Structure 1
Amino acid sequence: MNEAAVRLRSVTRSYGGGKHPENTVTALDRVSLDIPRGTFTAVMGPSGSGKSTLLQCTAGLDRPTAGRVFLGETDLTRLSEKKLTLLRRKRIGFVFQSFNLLPALTAEQNVGLPLRLAGHRPRRADVLDVLGQVGLRERAGHRPGELSGGQQQRVALARALVTRPEVLFGDEPTGALDSTTSREVLTLLRGMVDAGQTVIMVTHDPVAASFADRVLFLADGRIVDELAAPSVERVAARMADLSAVPRTTGGATAGAAAGAAMELSTDRTVASC
C-alpha cells in the first residue's frame, strides 16, 4: 500500500443551527479515509450527499466542525488561516468546472499566476514546460477568449500543476466540456496519475469516474460504498441504486448548504490560487 497523501479521521462538517440546533445540516458525518499517493480517486453521490464538502475539507478550503485532516504529516485542522493559505499555494492544486482564468492574461500569464501570488517570479521555461504537458505550449500567448473550452480547462490544469502540488483536487473538472474534450482532459489526468500525481475528483459522470483507480460513494454525508477498477456500467448502476434511496439529511437543504459553501470556497481559491 502506498503512503497516504491525505488522511481524514472522523471528519464532521455541520452548517447552520446556532440557537436552533434542530435546523443544523450535517454535510459530512464522521468520515474517515486514506488516499494513497499516486492514485486517482473519484467521489460520487446524489445531490446533497456531501461531495463538495468532502473536497473542501480535504483540500483545506473549509474547516471541519470536528475531526482531523492530514496532508502528508501536516494536520490542516491545526493551522492558522495564514499558514493554511500558504500551504494551499505551495502543496495543493485546484481545478474547477468553471475555468476561472483571468481574461486579460495570456495562457502563459495565467499559468504563472500562482507562483507570482506565492512571491516567486515564474521561470518562463517552467511555465512553458507545464503548458507542454497539457499540449498547449504553442498557445502560450493566447488569451482565454481565443481558446476553446477544452483548451481553457487544460490551461487551468497547467495552472494547478505549475507549483508541483502534492495533491490535485478537481470539482467537476469536465462538467462544462463535451464528451470528446472531456475524455481528452481525463486522459491527461490519468497520465499524470500514472506518472505519480495524486488526484481527487468530485464528479457526477460515470465515464469520468471510470478513469479513476477507485470511486467513493457518499450518501447522507457518509461513505457508503467504494469500487476499485471501476467500469462505466458498475459506477452507473451503483449511482442509480443510491439515487433511488430516500435521503435522511434534508436533501435540498443539504444541497443548498454545500452549494453556498462551494461558491465561497471558489472565490477564496481564485484569490489565493
Structure 2
Amino acid sequence: MTQVDQLRLADVEIRYGRRLVVVAPSLEVTRSSTTALVGASGSGKSSLLRCLSGLQRPSSGRVLVDDLDLTSLSPSRLARRRRDLFGIVLQDGGLVPSLSALDNVQVALDLRRIPRSRATARSTLDHLGLARLADRRPDQLSGGERQRVAFARVLAQAAPFAVLDEPTSSLDADSRADVVDGIRALSAAGCGTVVVTHDLELAASFDAVAAITRGHVTTRPGPTTAAEISHRIDGVR
C-alpha cells in the first residue's frame, strides 16, 4: 500500500449553482478505520463521498491526503493519484460492461501494477463466494452480484483508502454479511474505509459516524446505536 496515514476534509463546501448543499468544516479518516456517512436521501452523501475520493472537486476547501492537497492537482495527476490512493464503489458498481467479473477485478490490479493480478483477482472472488461468477459479464449478473464484484475489486486493490456508496443496498442477508466481513478485512489490512449507508445498524458498528444534518457534517466516534444515529439526522428511511 502507498504509505500515507490520513485523509482529511478542511472547510469543504459543495454548491450546485447558488444552492449550498454540504458544509464539512472537518472530517478525518485514518488508516484501518471505518467511517459511516449517513443522512437523509438527497442530503449530499454521495457528493461528499465523490469529493473525498477526488472524483469531484468541492466548490471550496481542501481535500488532503497527509500533506497532499488533491484539489490543487491537475486532472491528469489527480487521476493517477486517485488510482493509487482509493478503491471506489459507486452505486452502479462501475463495472466495465464488456469484461467478465474476473477481468473487472484484474484490470484494476493491472492499472496499479500489482503482481500476480490474475491469481489475486481469482482468490478474492473466491473469498467472497463469487468464484461461480468469474466468467460472467455484468449484464449476466443481478444488481447485488454486480455490487459484490465491485467490492471484490476494491478488496483486491489493497489501496490506502476505500470509499463505498451503499455497498449493501441491493443485497440479501447472506451477501450483506459477506460485504460486512470484507469491510472488516479492509480495516484489518490497514485500509481506511468510508461507507455511505442507510443501514443504521451497520453504521452503528463503525469506528465513527459522520452525519449530514441540514447540510452540515458532524462526526462522532463509535460504536453507537442505530437509534442514536437516527436522532442526529432527518428523514432517514
Q: Structures share a fold, TM > 0.5?
A: yes
Aligned residue pairs: how many?
Answer: 233
In the alignment, the residues of structure 2 paired with residue 137 and residue 73 of structure 1 have an alpha-carbon distance, to the nearest angstrom, of 40
TM-score by length of 2: 0.85
**How many angstroms does 1:135 deviate by?**
3.2
Structure 1's 192 and 226: CA in aligned 2 closer, same or farther, altered over 3 A?
same
* Aligned with 1:200 (options 169, 190, 194): 194
In the alignment, the residues of structure 1 paired with residue 133 and residue 165 of structure 2 have an alpha-carbon distance, to the nearest angstrom, of 25
* Aligned with 1:35 (options 29, 33, 42): 29
1:26-74 deviations in Å (ceiling 9; x for gaps): 1222521211211110011123332122111111011112211112332
**How many angstroms does 1:173 deviate by?**
1.3
1:104-123 deviations in Å (ceiling 9; x for gaps): 32221111122445678863
**How many angstroms does 1:127 deviate by?**
1.9
Structure exhibiting the larger radius of gyration computed from Cα positions: 1
- Give the match's secondary structure for 2:193: strand
Identity %: 36
Cross-structure match for 1:157: 151
Uncovered stretches (5+) of structure 1, i.e. residues with no partner: 17-23, 245-273
**How many angstroms does 1:220 deviate by?**
2.8
TM-score by length of 1: 0.75
In the alignment, the residues of structure 1 paired with residue 189 and residue 155 of structure 2 have an alpha-carbon distance, to the nearest angstrom, of 13
**How many angstroms does 1:166 deviate by?**
0.9
**1:135 equivalenced with 2:129 (yes/no):** yes
Structure 1's 116 and 219: CA in aligned 2 closer, same or farther, altered over 3 A?
same
Aligned-residue RMSD, C-alpha: 2.6
Counterpart amino acid of residue 39 in structure 2: G
Structure 1's 151 and 48: CA in aligned 2 closer, same or farther, altered over 3 A?
closer
Structure 1 runs (4+) greater than 6 angstroms displaced = 119-122
**1:97 equivalenced with 2:98 (yes/no):** no
1:195-226 deviations in Å (ceiling 9; x for gaps): 32211011122123133222111123312453
User: In proportion to residue count, which structure has more helix?
Assistant: 1
Uncovered stretches (5+) of structure 2, i.e. residues with no partner: none
**1:236 equivalenced with 2:230 (yes/no):** yes
